[in-house]
Structure 1
């Protein structure tokens, strides 16, 4: 991605697959323009454990996820 580019979704915007910013990140990775994504907390990916695990599985095969503040399951319900 170029300087100044970022992808964001509104807080509580729903499932990752339904969020334009998150889908944009995935598209950039699939196109080879990005290697992964950096998020502040795991809740940015999803507060729901099953959605969170699905996203981690996708990124495990396509790119990387870096979580700035690891929370060891905190906030994932």
Structure 2
């Protein structure tokens, strides 16, 4: 993912890669995702790169809440694999 970010001419800070086990735990309950949000809130990061939307959440409502949160905090979410239509919540 860092290579993808660099190809977009985005800066990637040393040691600024966070991982979590995705799936059953909502995004706000995952330590790595929480650290990403802290970096955004503090102004140290502008966004996050994830492989697929399901890394954020496989639940449409949770996914939309996270996307909205990033929008409210002037952050972005970049997906390596484009999002398929996720339907309405």
TM-score range (shorter-chain normalised) is 0.7 to 0.9
Unpaired stretches in structure 2, ≥5 consecutive residues: 1-11
Q: Which moved more, 1:8-17 or 1:27-36?
A: 8-17
- Which residues of 2 match residues 1-77 of structure 1 at below 5 A? 2-12=13-23, 14-62=25-73, 63-73=75-85
Q: Secondary structure at the match of 1:70?
A: coil
User: Could you list the runs of 4 or more consecutive aligned residues of structure 1 that deviate by over 4 angstroms after TM superposition?
Assistant: none
The CA deviation at 1:13 is: 5.1
CA RMSD of aligned residues (A): 1.8
Q: Which moved more, 1:20-29 or 1:61-70?
A: 61-70
Unpaired stretches in structure 1, ≥5 consecutive residues: none
When the two structures are superposed, what TM-score results if normalisation uses the length of structure 1?
A: 0.86
